[in-house]
Amino acid sequence: MKSAVGSVKSTSLSLIFTDFKEITKAKLAVSVVFSSIAGYFLGATQIELVSLLLLAFGGYCMVGASNAYNQVIEKDLDALMKRTKNRPIPSGRMTVATAMTIAIIMTLLGVVALYILSPKTAMFGAISIFLYTSAYTPLKTKTPLSVFVGAIPGAIPFMLGWVAATNDFGIEPGTLFMIQFFWQFPHFWALGWMLDEDYKKGGFKMLPTGKKDTGTALQIILYTIWMIVISIMPVFGYTGRLHLSIPAAILVLLAGLVMLVFAFKLYEKRDNVAARRLMLASVTYISLIQIIFVADKFIG
């Protein structure tokens, strides 16, 4: 009997943990933490473990809170879409009150953790939550310009790491911000292309022209080019302490050109398979260039 009770408890605990991962979008949150840690390594003159842990914890809390608020606001729309109908709230596994409690606790813990690092870090973290929940989320059903607004909080993590390490905002974190800002357009529009039919069920307007057409594909190409240009700027010495050696810049450029090839393929094919390949290429690109930037700093 005891073992049966134990197994029920462990099953319910694993379900609670699974729902927590879903409401905070754990995979996305971990990738954001990865970006902020890369930014920290780039900015730090010496690595402090406590600062890294605070940044990772605070960063996860901020992203997790944003995603929980987002799922509370969009609960009725999530229920309409195949991709999201099994999320904790629309499926009935979690109440709105529970989700809001998680979101508020994580907001407070995140702000406190980032504030211990520096007030500026906490300020940027708070701005990202505010923009994501109060501007990006409501705009998604109103206008494709929501992607521009959403790209601002989405670009903060890479920059946030530098600010956490230096307590300073200048050309270096500004450059990191711009790289991730421009990267998000091909990334999200490729995702929006793949999920267009599902998004339309929820009333989301994610593609710049509203259609899976050459206009959208052309904008994806243009933003990818801007992303490539900004990502190699540090090799020219205009970005303060943020440097790239020539070999590292060549690797970053090649990674960007690979992504650009996938963008052109989407322009040519205009199908979901090409969009998926571009989306996967974009995910690989952002992690890869962050690793190259950090490795270049410590090897060079």
Q: pLDDT: is 58 or 206 the higher one?
A: 58
Residues 6+ apart with CB under 8 A from 126: 111
CA separation for the pair 199, 72 (Å, rounded): 17
CA separation for the pair 71, 137 (Å, rounded): 9
13-32 mean pLDDT: 86
Residue 142 token pair: 């109103």
Contact 234, 242 (CB under 8 A): yes
Kindly report which listed range (5-9, 228-232, 240-244) carries the lowest average pLDDT score: 5-9
The CB-side HSE value for 239 (13 A sphere, CA atoms) comes to 21
CATH topology of domain 9-169: Tetracycline Repressor; domain 2 (1.10.357)
The pLDDT tens digits of the residues spanning 45-85 come to 888 999 999 999 999 999 999 999 999 998 888 888 888 88
The pLDDT tens digits of the residues spanning 244-285 come to 999 999 999 999 999 999 999 999 999 999 999 999 999 999
Residues 6+ apart with CB under 8 A from 285: 183, 255, 256, 258, 259
**What does the chain come to in residues?**
300
CA separation for the pair 249, 236 (Å, rounded): 10
119-128 mean pLDDT: 91
| CA diameter of the chain | 70
Confidence band, pLDDT 50/70/90 cuts, at residue 15 = confident
DSSP category for residue 213: S
Q: What is the pLDDT of residue 291?
A: 95
Q: What is the pLDDT of residue 11?
A: 66
Residue 135 token pair: 């501007």
The pLDDT tens digits of the residues spanning 25-44 come to 888 888 989 999 999 999 98
150-165 mean pLDDT: 91
Residue 168 has a CB neighbour count (10 Å cut-off) of 14
Q: What is the pLDDT of residue 300?
A: 65
- Nearest CA to 39 among 168, 119, 159, 180? 159
CA separation for the pair 176, 111 (Å, rounded): 22
Q: What is the pLDDT of residue 122?
A: 93
pTM of the predicted model, to two decimals? 0.89
Average per-residue pLDDT in the chain? 89
Indicate the residue type of 30: V
Residue 211 token pair: 């259609």
Domain ranges for the chain: 9-169, 170-300
Q: What is the pLDDT of residue 285?
A: 96
Q: Whose structure tokens read 């050459």?
A: 214
Confidence band, pLDDT 50/70/90 cuts, at residue 195 = confident
Residue 141 token pair: 């059903």
DSSP category for residue 83: T
Q: What is the pLDDT of residue 6?
A: 54
DSSP code string of 214-269: HHHHHHHHHHHHHHHHHHTGGGGT-STT----HHHHHHHHHHHHHHHHHHHHHHHH
Q: What is the pLDDT of residue 183?
A: 95
- Nearest CA to 207 among 198, 283, 285? 198
